Structure 1
Amino acid sequence: MEYDELPELTDDMLARATVNRGGRPRSASSKVLLSVRYSREVVDFFRATGEGWQSRMDGALKEYVAQHSRR
């Protein structure tokens, strides 16, 4: 369809329009972007588990926090 063949937008069409932002859906839990250093052994271990290794590393750290904050 060519530009000049497009129908003109009516007020009703604009009133019913919604914004589609696209991309990934936002997570319910917010994350913080930062730079940290880990030992090669730790990084190699988690990377060897394949795709999603950063999420598994986050999960292991969350588990540690949960176990150590119950004191």
Structure 2
Amino acid sequence: MSGSKTTSMSREQILEAMKTPPPGGYYVWDGVDEDDRPATEEELRAGIALARSRGRPAGSDKTKIALCVDNSVLEAFRSTGKGWQTRMNEALEEWLKEHAA
């Protein structure tokens, strides 16, 4: 790569060197830029918990399905922006109210 640093060490030498970290670790934060600060153990655990909590909330009464619709219908709902699936669900609920069995 252009501009990248190269080393004369072999892969095996690099792997061996990585087994013994330098005093103070491999990275020392200079305390200047908060964006460069390593995450604390607590922040890492909170991020992992958040990532695992994605998806439908507990107790949801919705079911994920595969549904074939015309491309024009799909594009019309998608063009309304974020939340289009909710609006599509609302349109189906409205249709059911008007066409009750």
TM over 0.5: yes
Which runs of 5 or more structure 2 residues have no equivalent in the other structure?
A: 1-48
- Greater C-alpha radius of gyration: 2
Distance 1:64 1:27, change over 3 A: farther
Unaligned stretches of 5+ residues in structure 1: 1-20
Q: CA separation in 1, counterparts of 2:97 and 2:60?
A: 16
How many pairs align?
A: 51
Answer yes or no: is 1:54 the counterpart of 2:76: no
CA–CA distance in 2 between the matches of 1:27 and 1:48?
29
% identical equivalent positions: 34
- In structure 1, C-alpha distance between the alignment counterparts of 2:94 and 2:58, rounded to whole Å: 19
What code does the residue aligned with 1:60 have?
Answer: A
Counterpart-to-counterpart distance in 2, 1:67 and 1:46: 20
Cα 1:28–1:42 shift into 2, 3 Å = same
Q: Distance in 2 between matches of 1:47 and 1:26?
A: 23
Q: CA deviation at 1:45?
A: 0.2
Whole-angstrom CA distance in 1 between matches of 2:67 and 2:57: 24
CA shift digits 1:11-31 (9 cap, x unpaired): xxxxxxxxxx86367376511
